[in-house]
Structure 1
Amino acid sequence: MARFHPLRVAAVEQLTDDAVALTLAVPPALRDTYRHQPGQHLTLRTRDTDGTEIRRTYSICSPAPGPEGPTALRIGVRLVEGGAFSSYAHKKIAPGDTIDTMTPAGRFTLTPAPGHYAAVVGGSGITPVLSIAATLLRQEPEARFCLLRGDRTTGSTMFLDDVADLKDRYPDRFQIATVLSREQQETGLPSGRLDRDRLTALLPLLLTPEAITGWYLCGPLGLVQNAQRALRDLKVPRTRVHEEIFHVDSAPPPPPADTAPTRGTVTARLDGRSGTWPLHEGETLLEAVLRNRPDAPYACKGGVCGTCRAHLDSGGVRMDRNFALEPEETDAGFVLACQSRPTTETVTLDFDR
């Protein structure tokens, strides 16, 4: 069960003009609780000036811990225009502060094993992939990793030193290529955006795409979609491709008026307890559950982070959008509660699966 605990801010590091790294200290009593897989994320919670609760999700960039559990967790926070939490992180958070932090979650992960792995990332999409690559190379001597990253300029590129350190430690097993969209590099690849055509042409020059053990795509929606299409053009099996979206500009489409009943009930199992509550007209299943169980897990409410993932045990739903669940998960009956609206009068969810 996902839970919040107050963690102390041990360090605040300026990465770029618009990005900081926060290091959160994990006390001995919580080290097993905050044990994480490479690629997982944390949900942080605070309140706005009017008392409104704000939750944001940030990937862990530090490697997965050993058997003793993590002594600290490091995340990267990029300033977003108008972003309530990112502005708070950049202007107000200081060492010694405490932040309510949810236990690690997420399925954009890699279990270290021999093989050749690769990632295409954009902007802050480097954050979970940094943890994935560092953990893999440290734990599996028979593994290699290729990173293709895109950013605006050298000055806006997060975790430059961390990536350079990986290259220094594993020169024969870690390959890095960088493309800048707004700055020409003296050496390396020409500047420009990583669109579908460019990725389709570029990736075979770096490696053999169809022979890669696992692909990890992370960043804005447009980049991830372009990378997906390029890998499909290059005959890469879909089962080897894993995605995580960091930002979606557009709002979800409004639900069709004739698809959702105006009355009904939702039954939800959460942390071993079940309850049945009425659904109000037009609300999502998560909204109905939160009115009665404020401890229900959620973060972005935008269909991106996957924190509110639950199994649909009975009934029918329509998801407004889904950028978090892979086809295997939806085929197995999992839904995003924040995006699910009922299409039957009764719906049963299990958050504990």
Structure 2
Amino acid sequence: MSTLFHPLRVKAIEPDTAEAVIVSFEVPTDLQEVFGFTQGQYLTLRKDIDGQDLRRSYSICAGLDDGELRVGVRKVRGGVFSNWINASLQPGDTLQVMAPQGRFFVPIEPSSARHHVGIAGGSGITPILSIMKTVLAREPASRFTLIYGNRQLQSTMFKEEIEDLKNRYMTRLVLQHVFSDEHTDSPLGFGVMNREKIGEFLKSVVPAARIDHVYVCGPFQMNDEAEAALLDAGVPEARIHIERFGVALPSAAQVGAVVHEAQPGDAKQARVTIVRDGLQREITYTEGQPSILDAASAAGLEVPFSCTSGVCGTCRAKCVDGEVRMERNFALDKNEVAAGFVLTCQAHPLTERVTLSFDER
């Protein structure tokens, strides 16, 4: 029996757009504390689909005061899990669910008067909706500006819920839609969410000097373009918070290439101590294994992971002894890396002894 996952019954599945649904879960009384979440966090779901043991992470779209646990799931082309959820999952079904994780948030300060900004693209609205609802409800003197890009109004997730929020918080919520495939009355509202477009908003709608915190979540390229525009405008890096759902698509030359390759300096063999829930277990890593995470799984250890692509951060642990390197990293900021945190799905030992702790959060 898994100690990481818990069985949760699906309470409801609500169609949101033609390509997305909202999944709500029933949380038993004895798991209420386990599934208490912070705005902006995500859930890792697990299901055997056609003989494949699959895990995928989906952001929580509920605010802290909604009294429910729900995630938004948009179909992804070629995405086995997201398409299965949209086509086959039914109320009353049970999914294996990991406790909420993620660091895409800033602590709420009820007495503060801050200006929060969300820059969302497509399904990237999901965690930002959770943040926005919580900020508006729990920081009564704060404001929120949402810049939300989609192809067209019809494909816009949570459009009715966001309009309801706008009507409820008319003086504190500014909403700006941007459509790439649908013309609007305002030139600002038409186009692609790139560096130039976001820069226009930072000049005319939300000056950088007035931003206390900005949350960015959308397609990989949009995230990079938004970050560049924010830095161009003078927004301090510490105020920019980015959640990534995926990585850039590989070029044709990269398709089929080996992702995890041995590098000069890698340990030929290493004794790796894994710490989780106060327990220690030693495994052996040998050169050629894809990562420390793979070595731990091969040894029968149950450790947290989801995407295995260096994006979600579910497999984050702290290197408390020895040295490792990462193939790639889209989840940890430079302060976390400096503090010793690594993504175990991308980690390779550089020393013959390494200790990684999943208890250091």
- TM-score under structure 1 length normalisation: 0.94
Pairing partner for 1:289 from 296, 299, 302: 296
Determine whether 1:271 maps to 2:267. no
Write the distance in 2 (CA, Å) between the matches of 1:303 and 1:73.
Answer: 26
Are 1:2 and 1:297, in contact at CA under 8 Å, matched by a contact in 2?
A: no
Write the distance in 2 (CA, Å) between the matches of 1:4 and 1:190.
Answer: 42
The offset of 1:254, in angstroms, is 4.4
Amino acid in the other structure paired with 1:204 = K
Count of matched residue pairs: 348
Write the distance in 1 (CA, Å) between the matches of 2:102 and 2:176.
Answer: 27
Aligned to 1:93, the other structure's residue is in SS state coil
Determine whether 1:81 maps to 2:80. no
Are 2:223 and 2:242, in contact at CA under 8 Å, matched by a contact in 1?
A: yes
Determine whether 1:280 maps to 2:286. yes
Determine whether 1:313 maps to 2:320. yes
Are 1:42 and 1:105, in contact at CA under 8 Å, matched by a contact in 2?
A: yes
Counterpart of 2:22? 21
Aligned to 1:137, the other structure's residue is in SS state helix
Write the distance in 2 (CA, Å) between the matches of 1:133 and 1:26.
Answer: 23
- Cα distance change of structure 1 residues 2 and 108 upon mapping to structure 2, 3 Å threshold: farther
Counterpart of 1:209? 208
Aligned to 2:225, the other structure's residue is in SS state helix
- Cα distance change of structure 1 residues 2 and 182 upon mapping to structure 2, 3 Å threshold: farther
Aligned to 1:243, the other structure's residue is in SS state strand
Amino acid in the other structure paired with 1:22 = V
- Report which stretch shifted further, 17-26 or 292-301: 292-301
Alignment RMSD (CA, Å): 1.7
Aligned to 1:189, the other structure's residue is in SS state helix
Amino acid in the other structure paired with 1:39 = G
Write the distance in 2 (CA, Å) between the matches of 1:271 and 1:76.
Answer: 30
Structure 2 matches for 1:191-202, cutoff 5 A? 191-202=190-201
Determine whether 1:7 maps to 2:3. no
Amino acid in the other structure paired with 1:109 = F
Write the distance in 2 (CA, Å) between the matches of 1:2 and 1:333.
Answer: 25
Write the distance in 2 (CA, Å) between the matches of 1:320 and 1:208.
Answer: 37
The offset of 1:191, in angstroms, is 1.7
Write the distance in 1 (CA, Å) between the matches of 2:187 and 2:33.
Answer: 43
Write the distance in 2 (CA, Å) between the matches of 1:318 and 1:131.
Answer: 34
Counterpart of 2:254? none
Write the distance in 2 (CA, Å) between the matches of 1:64 and 1:280.
Answer: 45
The offset of 1:340, in angstroms, is 0.9
Of all paired residues, the percent bearing the same amino acid is 41
- Cα distance change of structure 1 residues 254 and 275 upon mapping to structure 2, 3 Å threshold: closer
Counterpart of 1:41? 42
- Report which stretch shifted further, 236-245 or 200-209: 200-209
Write the distance in 2 (CA, Å) between the matches of 1:80 and 1:212.
Answer: 32
The offset of 1:190, in angstroms, is 3.9
Amino acid in the other structure paired with 1:49 = D
Are 1:39 and 1:110, in contact at CA under 8 Å, matched by a contact in 2?
A: no
Amino acid in the other structure paired with 1:24 = F
Counterpart of 1:132? 131
Are 2:262 and 2:288, in contact at CA under 8 Å, matched by a contact in 1?
A: no
Structure 2 matches for 1:99-138, cutoff 5 A? 99-113=95-109, 114=112, 115-138=114-137
Determine whether 1:153 maps to 2:149. no
Write the distance in 2 (CA, Å) between the matches of 1:187 and 1:110.
Answer: 32
Aligned to 2:100, the other structure's residue is in SS state coil
List, as ranges, runs of 4+ consecutive aligned residues in structure 1 with deviation greater than 6 Å.
none
The offset of 1:194, in angstroms, is 1.3
Write the distance in 1 (CA, Å) between the matches of 2:297 and 2:30.
Answer: 29
Counterpart of 1:223? 222
Write the distance in 1 (CA, Å) between the matches of 2:73 and 2:248.
Answer: 18
Write the distance in 2 (CA, Å) between the matches of 1:147 and 1:294.
Answer: 42
Write the distance in 2 (CA, Å) between the matches of 1:104 and 1:346.
Answer: 31
Write the distance in 1 (CA, Å) between the matches of 2:129 and 2:19.
Answer: 19
Counterpart of 1:31? 32
The offset of 1:229, in angstroms, is 0.6
Instruction: List gaps (5 residues or longer) in structure 1.
Output: none
Counterpart of 1:54? 54
The offset of 1:14, in angstroms, is 0.9
- Report which stretch shifted further, 278-287 or 289-298: 289-298
Counterpart of 1:338? 345
Are 1:61 and 1:75, in contact at CA under 8 Å, matched by a contact in 2?
A: yes
Counterpart of 2:183? 184
Aligned to 1:42, the other structure's residue is in SS state strand
Are 1:123 and 1:157, in contact at CA under 8 Å, matched by a contact in 2?
A: yes
The offset of 1:152, in angstroms, is 1.0
Are 2:220 and 2:246, in contact at CA under 8 Å, matched by a contact in 1?
A: yes
The offset of 1:174, in angstroms, is 0.6
Pairing partner for 2:355 from 345, 348, 352: 348
Write the distance in 1 (CA, Å) between the matches of 2:238 and 2:68.
Answer: 33
Structure 2 matches for 1:159-174, cutoff 5 A? 159-174=158-173
The offset of 1:168, in angstroms, is 0.8
Are 1:38 and 1:63, in contact at CA under 8 Å, matched by a contact in 2?
A: yes
The offset of 1:71, in angstroms, is 5.0
Aligned to 1:289, the other structure's residue is in SS state helix
Write the distance in 1 (CA, Å) between the matches of 2:163 and 2:300.
Answer: 46
Amino acid in the other structure paired with 2:61 = C
Are 2:177 and 2:189, in contact at CA under 8 Å, matched by a contact in 1?
A: no
Are 2:262 and 2:287, in contact at CA under 8 Å, matched by a contact in 1?
A: no
